[in-house]
A and B are shown apart, each in its own frame.
Chain A
């Protein structure tokens, strides 16, 4: 099949050719970038927190008329109330372990600070590494299902307590592997000393856990998403959070039992509908917007591709109708059906080829523009290549029906008026 007659015919339909190429180019540019955004969102949503997320729930509660956490006496009273709650929860049937904790990954309520190699480091200095603190106790690793990769876990003797606003020294901590690698690139973090939040009191790293995400799910937390620090301290305030792990299959039963149980321990408190939540709900809430955006973009991409395919079908159908007689002449002169079919397929390949070349340029330009305005990374070449291939295949699929109709034009139509 020679290209010459196809090019000659296309030259007669310049405007149509340009328009359909342009449409393919725009579709490619938009769909490539949209799929890239969808891919990024899905990657974010699917990253593991490092927790064993099943059979885990969180209790958030607040005491009414609680003593002040600003006095030593008040702190002791609050701590006693908290220990009372913990004991009651730990005795609940189906519950395997319970840990007090100020937040959980993806909860979007974080206590952040900084870690430094030197004592008394200024906040915001160069040596500082940002981290998110989890204040908890010796049952934290079991309750959250964290994997210890070096050193040891907290023991009951390690656990301290403090008022919410106090800043006592933090003698020991467990950090994540990501944070350990950042602070001590040569390894061997266990046993080393660091200084937290510009303090002069040393903190010894006693253990390293494989992975634990910080509470921030938004993009502002991306820089330190894996830099978590566990401190064996119960925080005493007029509110408390407890992470609870249950035996498999007993999550619902245990969750239902929590509210009446805590009211029985101490009725002077507020527990509402949101107070007892499974971790799956915390995850779903944190990523709701990302999932919604991915679905919306996916739907628009699908419709966009459908419109473009329909446009190709429509335009080619017109051309087939317009060239009815010419096709008949070619057939009468000996062209086979398959030759006619190939003619339209190659014509479409040419048009789509011009379209995707233009589309690659547009896709990259659009990506660069998006990078200047939004948090976006460079579009990987693989996305563009897959997009190009997909557009060519869609073009061929769309052209097939009208091309088949063209190939069925009988040679006798050459003798009839158009």
Chain B
């Protein structure tokens, strides 16, 4: 039966080539535009660490003075060095890491290679187990190495490729910013997007190549990059001049394995704030937040507004294309009332007519979907050529591929529903008579 309907559909579509082309093109354009923008939105609002992000939290406390601050304002988005170290040493979470970003010159031994700058992260030891970084060789350092200001370094796969041709470089020495470091670990390809743990150095495509223990980096005054927010007489924070004590410039992350632990930790932050206020360091009543990764990304509005706007626009466009298709199909099916009347008179039920017409709109959906997929591929290629930071991430994955097809087929079947139903209502006798 389906084969017969398909045959009928193809014959009918062939009869009006221009119109068929118009419907297919409209669907393809609508699907192509929606899927391009939806894929970009999907990539940008994705979970950077699936399976882990629910237990990772970003504590915020408010050490600022009272000047000009209204009640109810958000606490700063980072922590001061003192608070960061206090919270780290309190060790109230399952895991915790204090970190900040920077850039460092790599000075290869061979004089054939000129020194070059790479992005770096200065962090305490729990960074690696907490964020589940995969290691190709070796491992991270431990808390004792942190305190001992150990000259140890973890590099990523890209840098390992560049310096050692991808060989196991654990145990070898590397000169960074005029100091000698021992490589203890080489990361596998590990690049969480968005770059959730420090959004100040760019939200997408910004994985660091070098990881140095925080205390070591501070000791050597390695170059710091990122945002510094200061109040009162706080200042500084360019290059090797570190920000003063009334500036926030480090990120502190914790892992809390259950929601009761999260509630306890929030209480701990309140207690800590009160304690610091009693000591005279904090001026305000406790003002704390504890957001997990996805909440933090939503709060920071990581996904650019323009991307949301584009997606909305594309779906509006798809809607117009679908309305267009409904109108054209309706006109077309009604024009065929004569044929349909004959089929009805010969004994076909309304249901089988309805099925036949839906097959016809389904064919348009499938062809439009394939066209839309090609256009989406082209659209994403165009997005990748653009200079935005997330450009390289714009690829169709399996989910989006299926979504494209489901969207194309579903929307055209839906669009075919009304015209098909209307066409089936035609009384057979009337049609036969009028001809």
Chain A residues engaging chain B, CB cutoff 8 angstroms: 15-16, 19-20, 22-23, 26-27, 29-30, 34, 37, 62, 68-70, 122-125, 128, 164-165, 167, 237-239, 270, 288-289, 292-293, 296-297, 300, 303-304, 307-308, 310-311, 314-315, 317-319, 321-322, 370, 374-375, 417-418
The digit string for B317-335, where 1 denotes a CB below 8 A from any CB of A, is 1011101101110111011
When the two chains form their complex, are residues A237 and B241 in contact, meaning their CB atoms are under 8 A apart? yes
Which of chain B's residues has its CB closest to A311's CB?
A: B324
> Within the complex, what minimum Cβ distance (angstroms) separates B161 from chain A?
22
Count of chain A to chain B residue pairs whose CB atoms are closer than 8 Å in the complex = 126
**Residue-by-residue, is B208-246 near A (CB-CB < 8 Å gives 1, otherwise 0)?**
000000000000000000000001010110111100100
Partner pick for B26 among A15, A34, A310, CB 8 A cutoff? A310
- A238 pairs with B323, CB closer than 8 A: no
**Interfacial chain B residues near A311, Cβ < 8 Å:** 22, 26, 324, 327-328
Query: Once the chains bind, are B335 and A307 in contact (CB under 8 Å)?
Result: no
**Smallest distance from the beta carbon of B150 to chain A beta carbons, Å?**
24
Within 8 A of A (CB), among B133-158: none
Which 5 pairs of residues, A with B, have the shortest CB-CB distance? A124-B68, A19-B327, A318-B331, A311-B324, A122-B67
CB atoms of B324 and A124 under 8 A apart:
no
Query: Considering only CB atoms, which chain B residue lies closest to A62 in the complex?
Result: B239
* Residue pair B320, A304 in contact (C-beta under 8 Å): yes
Identity of the chain A residue whose Cβ is nearest the Cβ of B36 in the assembled complex: A296
CB of A165 within 8 A of CB of B241, answer yes
Shortest Cβ distance from A131 into chain B, in angstroms?
Answer: 16
From B84-92, B264-272, B283-291, B306-314, give the one contacting chain A: B306-314
16 pairs from A and B in contact (CB 8 Å cutoff): A16-B334, A23-B323, A26-B316, A34-B313, A37-B309, A164-B241, A165-B236, A289-B304, A297-B310, A300-B314, A307-B324, A308-B320, A314-B18, A314-B19, A318-B331, A318-B332
Extra contacts, 10 of them, besides A26-B316, A237-B239, A307-B320 (Cβ < 8 A), are A26-B319, A62-B239, A122-B68, A238-B241, A289-B306, A293-B309, A300-B33, A300-B317, A310-B26, A315-B327
Give the residues from 296 to 312 in chain B that come closer than 8 angstroms, CB to CB, to chain A. Answer: 304-306, 308-310
Residue of B nearest to A376 (CB): B309
Closest to B67 in A: A122
Say if the beta carbon of B422 comes within 8 Å of chain A: yes
Q: Once bound together, how far apart are the Cα atoms of A261 and B381, in whole Å? A: 41
**Minimal beta-carbon separation of A39 from chain B (angstroms):** 15
CA distance A69 to B238 in the complex (A): 11
Q: Is the CB of A167 within 8 A of B332?
A: no
CA distance A241 to B163 in the complex (A): 33
Most B CB contacts (10 A, CB to CB) among A15, A27, A37, A307 go to: A307
- Contact of A237 with B331 at beta-carbon distance under 8 Å, contacts A303-B29, A310-B26 already known: no
Q: Contacts of A15 on B, CB cut-off 8 Å?
A: 330, 418, 422
Q: Provide the residues of chain B in CB contact with A300, threshold 8 Å.
A: 33, 313-314, 317
Minimal beta-carbon separation of B220 from chain A (angstroms): 13
Cα(A68)–Cα(B117), bound, Å: 21
From B26, B308, B332, give the contact of A307 (CB < 8 A). Answer: B26
B335–A23 touching, CB < 8 Å: no
Please determine whether A321 and B239 come into contact, CB atoms closer than 8 angstroms.
no
Instruction: Using known A-B contacts A310-B26, A314-B19, A321-B335, determine if residue A30 contacts B320 with beta carbons closer than 8 Å.
Output: yes
Indicate with 1 or 0, residue by residue over B13-54, a CB within 8 angstroms of chain A CB atoms: 000001100100010010001000000000000000000000
Q: Are A16 and B330 in contact, CB atoms less than 8 angstroms apart?
A: yes
Find out whether the CB atom of A292 lies under 8 angstroms from the CB atom of B327.
no
